[in-house]
Amino acid sequence: MEHWSSQGGAGAGFGRVVMLGDAAHAIPPSAGQGINQAFEDVYMFARFLGAAKQGKESQGPDADATDHELVLSALRFWQSYRQDRVDQVMAFNKQIDLRRLPDGNAANAERKPFDLRWLFNADFDRVVDDWLTGKEYVAERVEN
């Protein structure tokens, strides 16, 4: 899905409806991450909305921006971050699926243990702070 929030002109409710969890990105059950990613969506969404309000009050990311513009900026940054996380989870899911194939069919799946620190130790506060301070988000790529 290209956009997780409503699109249209400024007067047409742009950014007023947001999709979270499986509505935005369905994840197969192999890695057991569907509901976890939905919780991450909700948590990060709330953090970004709070940061948009905080940023406005403290002359944060763009002191001249309207409240609506700050929320839209937060939504874009949030979706970019979340999409990268979901893409990584999907790649992890694929590796798990490959390991479940019979040995002859799973030749491409490496049998080394997964390093899951990227999944369970994400620094969500840093990501929000990066947006507040105007830092460009660069996805952290992990290899499993």
* Out of 42-51, 67-76, 99-108, 117-126, least confident range: 99-108
Please name the residues in contact with 62: beta carbons below 8 A apart, sequence gap of 6 or more: 55, 69, 70, 73
Domain coverage including residue 96: 32-132
Q: How many domains, the chain?
A: 1
Residue 78 located in a structural domain: yes
Question: Does residue 49 lie in a domain region?
Answer: yes
Q: What is the residue-averaged pLDDT of the chain?
A: 79
Inside any domain, residue 92: yes
User: Is there a domain that residue 25 lies in?
Assistant: no
- Does 67 fall in a domain? yes
Find the DSSP H helices in 11-66.
34-57
pLDDT tens digit sequence for 94-134: 888 888 777 655 555 566 788 999 999 999 999 999 888 88
* DSSP states of 69-84: HHHHHHHHHHHHHHHH
Q: Looking at residues 64-84, what average pLDDT do you find?
A: 84
Residue at 141 is within a domain: no
Domain membership of residue 10 (yes or no) is no
Do the domain assignments include residue 82? yes
Q: What is the DSSP string of 79-121?
A: HHHHHHHHHHHHHHHHHHHHHHS-TTT-TTS--SPP--HHHHS
